[in-house]
Amino acid sequence: MTCSGTPGAGVPDGGDPLRTRPALVLSGRAGEAQGVVRALREAFDDGRLYVELSDDGTAGGRRRVGRVAAFAGEEGLATLATNEVAYLRPADHRLHETLVAASALSRLPGPEYRPTDRLYLRSPGVMARVFEDRPEALKAAAAVAERCAGAVKLSGEVHVPGVRPAPGVSPEGELRRLAEVGVLRRYGRRPGGEVRARLKKELECIEKLGFASYFLLAHEAAGIARDREVPVTGRGSVANSLVSYCLGLTSPEPFSHRLLFERFMHEGRRDPPDIDLDLDSEGRDGVRDELMRRYEGSGAAVAATANTLSLRGAVRVAARALGFSPAETNELSRHVPARVRDRDALVRPIRGWERALREPAMRDHPLQDRERYGLLMELAARLYGRLWQAGTHNGGAVFGSGGRHLSELLPLEPSGREGLLRAQYDKDDLEYVGIPKLDLLGLKMHTALRKAGELVSEKLGRKINPLAPPPDDGATYALIRTGRNAGMFQLESPGQMNLSTRLKPRRLRDLVAQISLFRPGPMRGDLVTPYVRRKNGLEPYSVPLPELAEVLKPTYGVMVFQEQVLEISHKVAGFSLAEGDLVRRAMTRERGPGAMLALREEFVGRAVARGVPEAKAEEVFSWMEGFSVYGFSAAHGASFAELSYASAYMRVHHPAEFFCGLLNSQPMGFYSPRTLLNEARRIGLGVLPPDVHLSGEGFTVEGDGAALRVGLSYSRGLSRAAVSSILSERSGRPFASVADLYRRTAVEKDSLETLARAGFLDALTGPNGRAGALEAAKELPEKRGRRESQPELPMPHPASWWAAREGRGVRRLPVSGTAREGMEWEALSLNVSRHPLSPYREALKDLGVLSGREVLRLPHGTRARAAGLIECLQSPPTKSGHPVYFLVIEDEAGLLQTTIFRSVYERFGHLLHREGAFLLDGRVERTDARGFAFLVQRIGSLREALKGSIPSPRVSPSPGAFLRAGRRGRRTG
């Protein structure tokens, strides 16, 4: 225990002696300091109490050290030389001051500023010079450091969570019992010999590695979820395990999907296995809290995350510290990319900004004025990528092990949420010290499907399980093949929609491949095109050796899955599957040329010994090495594919309930509530207006599944108490007027006006409708005292995330034809009456604009003009490494994905970050490589083209705008 002599340390309120520091001495309160020393001596053994001497390099530092040392001598206490460390190098002191000031919401120099650059990690030589007159303090520091070095040891063992089965039952015995029950449930009364043999092999491996308790913990978590009717499914490599399947942790059947236990765990792996469970996001916290409550006696906590500053965040931090106003800080950070491709260039101040400033989004940006903002840019460049704060992992839970409390294994701290502790290690640190975490992840699709399932169950009068739809439903796959996949789990992104039309899935195996192929690795490796062509019979394929036909036939000769590396290594070189996994891991991680050469020699040598020609063995290894980098886990793909199919089935057979569930689970997925509601309208569902007497808390299904009605939670600024009071009061008797509603409920005046603008109060004013309701709301006085006595925060708006979401680089701007529609948008962020482009369709035809649906039908080579509201802008990885941008626009007919190459983006890209509605000139391409593509050649502002007839806020004219001139109709060439 050390008593710190840091000059800034004060005396805490309450006089806790274990927290009080020698500031008492420095402030002349020696009597109180002596009392503290007596208390500390009673608490700590001899030789464990020191007075810390720390010279921070500020004026008077040496004098303070002398006063504290003199006090220690008077009390007979040993001194210990230390140094406060806030940064690694002296040059980093300005960054530290910037971060401290920004954290305190202050400008530089900040409330805790100390004029020194000496708070860095000093070398032993520097410490010896600073404390050359106090060698005893240096010796004490070395002795304490030596004792501390032996306090924490990495034993190499894995600290498996301690689970308590029934008295007299071992974890291994309990796991065997549960697996036996599960195998009979999954495979019937007489499981086949292959199932029995694999189950036995897996259980033996789990027991030998000591992970039985870990599986039991996951099973207990899943049991808590099911008891609470919280949907739960496993994801990731755990689905490779037959034991997990039998325990009900995962749903893909291992044999039919060729899932291999060794991809998940085996005796040759040194890192612990990782079990991930997806739960309904609204019930996840309750499940996690109950599990942690059961094991709080042995310690339970959540993992930490290390949050670093993006470039945009670094600009905000630097601007705050330099004293810029909030408004100017927002303006300076707007359109700054979150990250840059060449960070090494950026960290060379000012010059490193050149690439970022050349981005189209940064055109005419204030930061182009380097003379004014040079210091801010220099600080931001150096802050970029720095650790900003510790965060809490989304779902990673860790537990005490083998009778040892978790606090004995790692440091813990409060998480910021009452009753929830956080480990000071992130997931990589936990793996390094051998502490497996159980990931209990919130998944909004589970939430949406649960809500949709409840509505369908109510409609049918019997309970249905939306996670277990009838298999191989033709109508479901037919819809997926059209590419109209909005709302479908993992299938709704623009790229997946396009791939659906090309790959043409007809069974679950096709969905597994589709989800696995649409990943950065397979796309960079150009695995998609050969797979699609071969599946559709457009291209033959062959395999290097006959032994590989069985492994590669399901994927048409393309190595898609990581599990295939294990099988190929086994069949060609005779490796065990566990050895094959080590081959996979070696290929997918950076290894030196020597290590890869040794691996190649072993593979080829063992293959030749089995009769494989050496040239063929070399060919297989090279081919496997090239493709394995891009492979995806089949277990992960299968887990997601089953949920994708379930969501698609619900959309096809219960569309109203499905969209209702989606809209009541926001934010989630790829598309905003506005787009989802428009999609529901496009498939024939009615959209009923808000009504304070008929609307529920969220969206509701009416008309026997024919229509959706907007819910109260979509009214901006409304508190939960206000919604509850509306629902409660109207159940007794209806509201007679706007004033009556205001008097009887917890609705505040500003929220009342928003309800009026949205249309919830139209029915309360008879023929005067919207205008009368708004006028009545404005005439009412503020409620006195309610805000102070019953403070209520507004509920998070379901669409708020879409307006603020980083990474899109766009703003979705409303386009309204009437004042009524404009008020709806402002109050709800929805288009209830009609699509915002509907009033302008004739004007758009005059401009030669086709609907998105018409563009999709055009033949190859056709030039056309499209228009729509921007929905998203993406730039996924490409094989060439050159950026390609995918812009999705939306009109009344649907979504249209367009492709923008770099040259066009550099000319017009600034518009995409400032406007909300566009005209796009381009050309249709239909190729095997891309399927359908609309290649954009010119981008213009739709607002400018229509001469301001479509008002959208914060839109400024730009040189890229189209003029009204343009031929009507389709242009071909």
User: What confidence tens digit (pLDDT) does each residue in 456-512 have?
Assistant: 999 999 999 999 999 999 999 999 999 999 999 999 988 899 899 999 999 999 999
Side chain identity, residue 12: P
**Which pLDDT belongs to residue 590?**
58
The average confidence (pLDDT) of the chain is 85
Nearest to 496 by CA among 473, 472, 474, 522: 522
Q: What percent of the chain has pLDDT over 90?
A: 51
d(CA 468, CA 658): 15
Range 413-419, long-range pairs (CB < 8 A, 24+ positions): 415/301, 415/302, 416/392, 417/392, 419/289
Q: Which of 74-88, 275-289, 642-656, 737-751 has the lowest mean pLDDT?
A: 74-88
769 CB burial (10 A radius; 0-12, 13-18, 19+): middle
The label of the residue with tokens 């917890």 reads 746
According to DSSP, residue 92 is labeled: G
Q: Is 644:251 a contact under the CB 8 Å cutoff?
A: no
User: Higher-confidence residue: 61 or 284?
Assistant: 284
Global pTM value: 0.86
Q: Which residues contact residue 841 at a Cβ distance below 8 angstroms, ignoring those fewer than 6 apart?
A: 892
Residues 805-846 have pLDDT tens digits of 332 323 333 344 567 888 888 899 888 988 888 888 899 999
Q: Which residues contact residue 600 at a Cβ distance below 8 angstroms, ignoring those fewer than 6 apart?
A: 618, 621
User: In the chain, what is the straight-line distance between the N-terminal and C-terminal CA atoms, in Å?
Assistant: 82
d(CA 618, CA 493): 39
| Angle at alpha carbon of residue 834, lines to 831 and 838, rounded to 5° | 115
Query: Which tokens sit at 621?
Result: 């290894």
Q: Which of 195-209, 432-446, 517-531, 867-881 has the lowest mean pLDDT?
A: 867-881
According to DSSP, residue 254 is labeled: T
d(CA 23, CA 474): 77
User: Higher-confidence residue: 882 or 725?
Assistant: 725
pLDDT band at residue 29, thresholds of 50, 70 and 90? Answer: low
**Which pLDDT belongs to residue 815?**
41
Bridge partners (DSSP) of residue 890 are 869, 895
Residue 339 CA: distances (Å) to CA of 99, 180, 328, 885, 900 = 19, 51, 21, 16, 21
Side chain identity, residue 426: D
Q: Which of 18-22, 413-417, 863-867 has the lowest mean pLDDT?
A: 18-22
Nearest to 259 by CA among 280, 242, 273: 242
**Which pLDDT belongs to residue 917?**
87
The label of the residue with tokens 């005439």 reads 779
**Which pLDDT belongs to residue 165?**
84
Pairing of strands 232-235, 275-280: antiparallel
Q: Is the pLDDT of residue 96 over 90?
A: no
56 CB burial (10 A radius; 0-12, 13-18, 19+): buried
* Residue 51 phi, psi dihedral angles, 5° rounding: -105, 125
According to DSSP, residue 306 is labeled: E
pLDDT band at residue 783, thresholds of 50, 70 and 90? Answer: confident
**Which pLDDT belongs to residue 15?**
42
Nearest to 957 by CA among 911, 905, 917, 907: 911
| Angle at alpha carbon of residue 449, lines to 443 and 452, rounded to 5° | 145
d(CA 562, CA 629): 9
Q: Is the pLDDT of residue 154 over 90?
A: no
pLDDT band at residue 267, thresholds of 50, 70 and 90? Answer: very high
Q: What is the mean pLDDT of residues 705-716?
A: 95
d(CA 520, CA 510): 19
Q: Is 499:517 a contact under the CB 8 Å cutoff?
A: yes
User: Higher-confidence residue: 800 or 440?
Assistant: 440
d(CA 962, CA 49): 77
**Which pLDDT belongs to residue 364?**
84
Q: Which residues contact residue 684 at a Cβ distance below 8 angstroms, ignoring those fewer than 6 apart?
A: none
Residue 317: its H or E element: helix 311-321
Q: Is 913:958 a contact under the CB 8 Å cutoff?
A: no
**Which pLDDT belongs to residue 640?**
97
**Which pLDDT belongs to residue 353?**
78
* Residue 49 phi, psi dihedral angles, 5° rounding: -125, 125
Q: Is 339:346 a contact under the CB 8 Å cutoff?
A: no
**Which pLDDT belongs to residue 806?**
30
Q: What is the mean pLDDT of residues 244-257?
A: 97
Residues 948-966 have pLDDT tens digits of 544 443 333 333 333 323 3
**Which pLDDT belongs to residue 666?**
92
